[in-house]
Amino acid sequence: MARDAVQVTDTAGPLTLKRAEKYGFCAGVRIADRTVRRLAAEGRSGQILGQLVHNERVVSDLVQLGFATASSLDEVGTGTIVFSAHGVPPSFHRRALERGLLVVDTTCPFVYDVHEEARQALEAGLHAVFIGDSAHREVIGYTRDLDPDDYDVALTTEDVGRIDFDRHPRVKIFYQTTLNSEEYEDVARAIESAAQHAERADTICYATKENQDAARALAADPVIDCIVVVGGRHSANTKHLWEICRDTKPRSYLVHGSDDLRADWFTDCRAVGVTAGASTPDAMIEEVEGAIRSLAPSGQLPAPEAVP
């Protein structure tokens, strides 16, 4: 579950900081991170297939602890392989075991639910349509082992237009769990309009949705002048949080850490809202908040060479 904010508001100085009511590490990511750190504390090492979470700081920490990132199973010769919270195609488990690897599976239970619901839909004769990014590891996990005739992936209404619904009159719609479902409502409706029969699976991660709803509430707060969203540069759910905030508060900024902050963002700013993606550890949020408190009143911190 997303982290609850116990009304974290700091008014010690001339600037007010207010966190969203839900933010940061979800349960799946927190468990994955703790699992690998526990293995390291036991003196074990290994490799993680892809980034454990989409956060560069966490990835760097885990490398230092003896768990480097592997881009494919072929790179892993022996030892331990960790499957991340995003999940993997089922065949990867078989391949890893056949090669004698020790598998540590940190796949989010919610992602496993989507795998199972998709399997049941296909067995019932429905065509699966995944709304998401075909290159995202979660979507690859769902689709790689499937017959290409059994599914399609759509991110835009144009993608929907390329699906042959005459061949696939009955479909089931699945969302990549980290998407902002409201942003892709037009894609879902296009599928429903084109297919003879369409039904939706409830596959938006509840923690992601809670973070998104809390971001909307934060952006709608009239007291808040600007918002800082903290998260990995390649984190889809963090980017969606920033987009949600930006739509209501144009002065919304996406940062990975304190080095990305700029003094001019906080000019004439009385209150700053803070939220964070599901792959953002608490320490990073606290670091950014400390930098904002130092930066906003005085403007003494140097601006970075480049920001997202």
Closest CA to 178 of 127, 109, 119, 241: 241
Quote the strand ranges of the chain, DSSP E. Answer: 3-4, 9-10, 16-19, 22-23, 46-49, 67-70, 80-83, 102-105, 127-131, 151-154, 170-175, 197-200, 226-230, 252-255, 271-276
Alpha-carbon span 59 to 45, nearest angstrom = 14
Residues identified as active-site: 138
